[in-house]
């Protein structure tokens, strides 16, 4: 799939999405700083959230308190929601640096506003994975969609995939565990294989809420082409997602590490041409340990194997020349060749 001009999939290095989300707590200054810090860390993509409160929640949401906060979900989003003009500013800032701007709409109105802003793709959060009316509304825009699948199983993901196929949009499915933080034993990287088997056309990835970068690194050999982590410029800032967010240094490590792991995948167990300089000193060759007169028998008492490996007969062929006879006088510490014996 293409996100902007970035090709994403098994044939390309993993795309790291730095999820700024609501870590700005409604501050455009903080949001802008995180965009700049993500760019300096080497990020290709940052992601925000678009909240239109009246179209997203009813007032009784003030009574629902998430597990990672003491405030209601309504109060959190009301406090953290940026204006459309502020989000447009952040989009222009992000794209002006050459990065991909993504945002998660949490309502129909939010999706419409993002479409008005001209986003290149959509991110749908785990909470909307089974919100099929909203998923279909977004799919009608005919743009690539990255879908997180936390709190859902294969059966509840299938209708979303059917919608994507109906509208012929490219899509990615991110495995996710909606626990903040996610204990390592609850990450369940094995789910990537289930997603691959159930949805072979999907680009796969991991939206990770565990601490650090370990599980993201572990997901790459299992087929993850997108790695999403919450991101903050400072762990000292307030916010419900700050404790599970990575810092600029950790983001840089994730990007560099994921590229290194991707580069190391594949290949076969063969001897590389580039290993020859090491072979020359690390291998052993068959050498004489004593002077051997012409006609003398070659035995384990007068030959052995020693470095370097630049001789004509390597250690692996040592036994094959025992019992042969020298065709000329051979001096001690001579690397043997096949014309030295009959």
Q: Does 21 reside within a domain?
A: yes
Cα-based distances in Å from 225 to 14, 101, 239, 281, 282: 4, 18, 28, 40, 38
Determine the pLDDT at residue 312: 97
Strand residues in the chain grouped as ranges (E): 2-3, 6-7, 15-21, 45-50, 100-105, 122-124, 145-148, 171-176, 203-208, 226-230, 285-288, 303-306
Question: Cβ contacts of residue 331 below 8 Å, gap of 6+?
Answer: 288, 291
Determine the pLDDT at residue 66: 86
Domain count, the chain: 2
Average pLDDT over every residue of 180-194: 98
Read off the DSSP letter of residue 50.
E
Are 188 and 50 in a shared domain?
yes
Are 259 and 279 in a shared domain?
no
Are 175 and 293 in a shared domain?
no
Question: Which of these three, 231, 264, 297, is where a domain ends?
Answer: 264
- For 244-274, how does the pLDDT look when each residue is reduced to its tens digit (9 = 90+)? 999 999 999 999 999 999 999 999 999 999 9
Are 155 and 216 in a shared domain?
yes
Are 15 and 164 in a shared domain?
yes
**CATH number of the domain that residue 294 is part of:** 3.90.1210.10
Are 215 and 316 in a shared domain?
no
Q: Does 4 reside within a domain?
A: no
Which pTM does this prediction carry? 0.92
Q: Does 103 reside within a domain?
A: yes
- The CA-CA-CA angle for residues 35, 36, 41, to 5°, reads 100
Given pLDDT bands bounded at 50, 70 and 90, which one contains residue 71?
A: confident
Are 49 and 73 in a shared domain?
yes
In percent, the amount of the chain with pLDDT more than 70 equals 100
Average pLDDT over every residue of 54-81: 90
Question: Which of these three, 240, 264, 288, is where a domain ends?
Answer: 264
């Amino acid at each position: 799939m293409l996100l902007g001009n970035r090709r994403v999939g098994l044939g390309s290095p993993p795309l790291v999405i730095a999820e700024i989300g609501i870590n700005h707590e409604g501050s455009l200054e903080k949001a802008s700083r995180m965009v700049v810090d993500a760019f300096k860390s080497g990020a290709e993509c940052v992601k925000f959230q678009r909240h239109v409160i009246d179209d997203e929640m009813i007032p009784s949401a003030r009574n629902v308190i998430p597990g990672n906060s003491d405030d209601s979900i309504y109060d959190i989003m009301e406090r953290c929601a940026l204006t459309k003009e502020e989000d447009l500013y952040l989009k222009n800032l992000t794209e002006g640096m050459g990065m991909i701007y993504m945002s998660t709409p949490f309502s129909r109105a939010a999706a419409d506003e993002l479409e008005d802003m001209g986003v290149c793709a959509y991110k749908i959060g785990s909470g909307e994975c089974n919100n099929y009316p909203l998923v279909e509304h977004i799919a009608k825009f005919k743009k690539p969609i990255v879908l997180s699948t936390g709190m859902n199983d294969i059966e509840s993901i299938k209708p979303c995939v059917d919608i994507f196929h109906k509208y012929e949009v490219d899509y990615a499915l991110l495995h996710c565990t909606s626990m903040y933080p996610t204990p390592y034993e609850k990450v369940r990287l094995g789910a990537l294989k289930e997603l691959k088997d159930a949805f072979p056309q999907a680009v796969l990835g991991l939206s990770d809420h565990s601490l650090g970068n370990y599980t993201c690194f572990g997901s790459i050999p299992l087929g993850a082409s997108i790695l999403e982590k919450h991101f903050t410029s400072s762990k000292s800032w307030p916010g419900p997602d700050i404790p599970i967010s990575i810092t600029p240094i950790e983001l840089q490590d994730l990007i560099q590490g994921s590229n290194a792991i991707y580069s190391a995948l594949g290949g076969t167990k063969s001897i590389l041409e580039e290993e020859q300089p090491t072979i020359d000193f690390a291998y052993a060759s068959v050498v004489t340990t004593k002077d051997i007169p012409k006609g003398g028998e070659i035995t384990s008492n007068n030959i052995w194997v020693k470095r370097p490996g630049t001789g004509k007969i390597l250690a692996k062929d040592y036994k094959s020349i025992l019992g042969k006879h020298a065709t000329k006088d051979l001096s001690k510490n001579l690397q043997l060749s096949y014309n030295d014996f009959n």
